[in-house]
Structure 1
Amino acid sequence: MFAHVDINNFYASCQRLFRPELEGKIIVVLSNNDGCVIARSDEAKALGIKMGDAEFQVRDLLNKNGAYIFSSNYALYADMSARMMNNLARYTYMLMVYSIDECFMAIDHMPGVDLEEYIANMRDAVVQNTGLPITIGVGKTASLAKFANRAAKRARKKYMVLDTMDKVDAIINDFDIEDLWGVGFSYYKKLTAAGIMTAGDFRRQEPGWVQKQMTIQGLRLWRELWGEQCHVLNDLFERSKAICSSKSFNTYQTELCYLEEAIATYTATVASKLRVQESMALNINVFLRTNKHRKDHDQYYPSITLKLPFSSNSTAELTKVALQALRAIYTPGYYYMKGGVTAIGIVPAGEVQYDVFTEYQGERQTELSGLMDKINARYGKGTLRVAIEGYKKHWIMKQDYLSPNYTTRWQDIIKPI
């Protein structure tokens, strides 16, 4: 059996957790540089605010209805996510984080346990300990667990346990095909064109037809809807094949020195993520972007990929190559609005092999990077960094509506009145 757990309206719920007076109010959370809507409370959804709406397009509507607007506060969201995952981990021998606000859990090998009672108690405990509203779906496969979670939300239930195929059969014909995990926009158009409108319609198709239309991935989904396990949890969470860090700048950047600061900072983030998943990169890609919507500016979208001398996850080594790449593509006279760094060719750190002529001081770089990680974990991100990352960052993204970091910054901790 599998359980799928996710946090309802996660970003908005995090804001409400520390400001309970916002319960029942319209809340939207904006993307980097406060550009567009990426999270909404139920009240905002009812108002007609859509995911991806540009802030300037819905600004008057939000102000007219007294909406509360927040910039993305990733430090707060990451910490609250970790708290939820740590609480859930007590109820399973295997928990796999699927995204910042959802995870899968293995909940088999529990003979004699009343599953309904177990899930109800688990949900109550997690909500009590974290304050975050969650929904839980349980099924015989990962796909059915995700299906049960979505069905629970549609039925306005806190959880749903589909531990028999009879329970699945009772609701699958009323489940829209577009809400089925693994059915993206292109598959949705293809399936509806064939008259397949519900998950029940999809499950009644012949397996050969499903594989022809949706490849082996679609066939696995079809088989899982019949209760046949095709996804092992570890298979769902493979090591990333590429790791990217990119953001839009708060103002147009034209000077190379400021672009170097940004690219160095993004590279440090990529290197840190590589070390977290115990991987190394073989190649580094660096890109710049101008604003394609500005017709009065010339457009330029340069990108270059350089091979590293040795596979590495060292901040210093990756930064050196990334800056070489930046200087190769930078052309003065353009108004750059975004830049980014991507690590490509990800390999496990333990499988890197050097030849007899290698002069790379791998152990020294590993120790240095590990020391940086420990200091930054203890005293805060960016406490120890490569000098070229700069101090006063002129390109840092705009966050006009940023909330306090209630759980990760001493001065932001809530004080009693």
Structure 2
Amino acid sequence: MIVHIDCNSFFVSCERAFRPDLRHKPVVVLSNNDGCVCSMSTEAKLLGIKRGDPYFKFKELARTQNITCFSGNHKLYNDMSSRVMDTLRSIATNVEVYSVDDAFIKADTSMPLVEYGNFIKKKIWQDTCIPVSVGIAETKTLSKIASHFAKRYKAYNGVAVIDTTEKAKKAMSLLPIENIWGIGRKLTIRLRQLGIKTALQFAEMPQTMIHQILNITGERTWRELNGERCIPYEREATGRQSITASRSFAKDIYDIEYLREAISVFAAIVSRRLRRQHGKCTELYVFLETNRFHNDTPYMCKT
């Protein structure tokens, strides 16, 4: 089984780790120039604040509702991320760091899966004071769905397990198509035009249609939803000649400060992997590309 560990409101949680008085209170973390929201607590979300909102638009709300606002401190967040990942390495030998605030491990344990998930959650909290949600399933994509529900529904108490076909179908029936890991905005529009609105409807599409409308990445997602492991499990670098940290954003990015912060996080991930293998770097490349699935704008890739 694959375990997905996702830190809850990570930047906010990092700030709260040193300000426990702010737990259960509205908190937002802003970009370095205090331009827009990068992270917000559940309490802030309930007040209507969304990721990407410009600070000036809710400045008065922040004053009247006692919302605590922090300027982004990515050195702190990278350090806290390292602590979380080190805790995971003390639990499992196969840790795949996916981003600054989430990772995959293999559930090599004889413990009941829910008990194992609670053990991971409690261990990370004990070591770092960072709350996490844990999803466990047969594939990476399904484990992502499990952690999605573990985070959003209190009844799971932070741990959700999808270990039967019935549970998988139930979870997918409740998940909008746009929330599937690996399904971008353009493909979401196309699938909705075909009447596909949920993950379950997508998973139940005939394979012949999948071949017609999806590329290999989309087909892998479809197979993963149907319980077939297709997305490879990446071990951490050990003596590799090159190290890469690259991610697709969930939505188009227009804020240069947000982009700079993302690049700094990826650079920190690469640096951490390099140090862990006691390596040296002679060249560093940063590459950016636009969404190749947009038909209304030209595709560009810059290094």
The TM-score bracket by the shorter chain reads: 0.7 to 0.9
Q: How many residues are matched?
A: 264
Residue 175 (1) aligns with residue 179 (2): no
Normalization by structure 1: what TM-score? 0.58
Post-superposition Cα deviations, 1:348-387, rounded to whole Å, max 9, x if no partner, equal: xxxxxxxxxxxxxxxxxxxxxxxxxxxxxxxxxxxxxxxx
Post-superposition Cα deviations, 1:120-142, rounded to whole Å, max 9, x if no partner, equal: 22222221221111000001111
- Displacement, 1:114? 2.1
8 Å CA contact 2:9–2:41 kept in 1: the answer is: yes
- State the partner residue of 2:93: 93
- State the partner residue of 2:232: 232
- State the partner residue of 1:137: 135
Spell out the pairing of 1:104-143 with structure 2 (5 A cutoff): 104-108=104-108, 110=109, 112-143=110-141
For 1:184 and 1:120, locate their aligned partners in 2 and report how far apart those are by CA, in whole Å: 31
- State the partner residue of 1:404: none
Structure 2 gaps of 5+ residues are 248-254, 258-263, 288-301
Name the stretch that deviates more: 222-231 or 186-195: 186-195
8 Å CA contact 1:139–1:162 kept in 2: the answer is: yes
Name the stretch that deviates more: 23-32 or 221-230: 23-32
Residue 149 (1) aligns with residue 147 (2): yes
For 2:246 and 2:120, locate their aligned partners in 1 and report how far apart those are by CA, in whole Å: 35
- State the partner residue of 1:304: none
- Displacement, 1:165? 2.1
- Displacement, 1:236? 10
- Displacement, 1:228? 0.6
Normalization by structure 2: what TM-score? 0.78
8 Å CA contact 2:95–2:235 kept in 1: the answer is: no
Structure 1 ranges of 4+ moved more than 6 A: 235-238, 282-285
Larger gyration radius, structure 1 or structure 2 = 1
- Displacement, 1:278? 5.5
Higher strand proportion (structure 1 or 2): 1
Q: Give the letter aligned to residue 91 of structure 2.
A: Y
- State the partner residue of 1:199: 199
- Displacement, 1:279? 5.4
Q: Give the letter aligned to residue 140 of structure 2.
A: A
- Displacement, 1:99? 0.8
What is the percent sequence identity of the aligned residues? 35
- Displacement, 1:4? 0.4
8 Å CA contact 1:32–1:247 kept in 2: the answer is: no
For 1:76 and 1:129, locate their aligned partners in 2 and report how far apart those are by CA, in whole Å: 16
- Displacement, 1:57? 2.0
